[in-house]
Structure 1
Amino acid sequence: MPFVTVKIARGHSIEKKRHLVEAITNALVTSLDTKPEWITIHIDEFERENWAVNGILHCDRHRGRHDETGR
């Protein structure tokens, strides 16, 4: 019984989430030869201010804010 947690930034539409869980379910059914009703998917949304890559908060990166190093 697969249990999948997907961590994504808050703000995706319900339509995108539906597409996401359908795609994940189909991939698991195919790759694990399991039944879709046995698959549980949890979407964990986080605020962009709580996520950083290369030392830059995601919320700042998308506002074009970074230091003089160009990171």
Structure 2
Amino acid sequence: MQKVWISKARAALDQPTPAPVKAVRKPKVEEVPVEEPEAVIELREPEPQELKQPHKAIPTMLFQEPS
């Protein structure tokens, strides 16, 4: 049984491997510089402090031992 397995393995290893296939290169695309739009400055009023809600305290969690 081992001789059969060894002969199959050697036959598989003795087969010539095909040459690696070279990938086709894509043509290089020239990048056209993109004109950046002019920066638009937004004037906004700062948010009043009164509208912001204060942080709520985290409620205390109670754990009970199983009885």
Larger radius of gyration: 2
* Normalised-by-shorter TM-score class: under 0.3
TM-score calculated relative to the size of structure 1: 0.20
More contact order relative to length (CA 8 Å, sep ≥ 6): 1
TM-score calculated relative to the size of structure 2: 0.21
- Structure with greater strand percent: 1
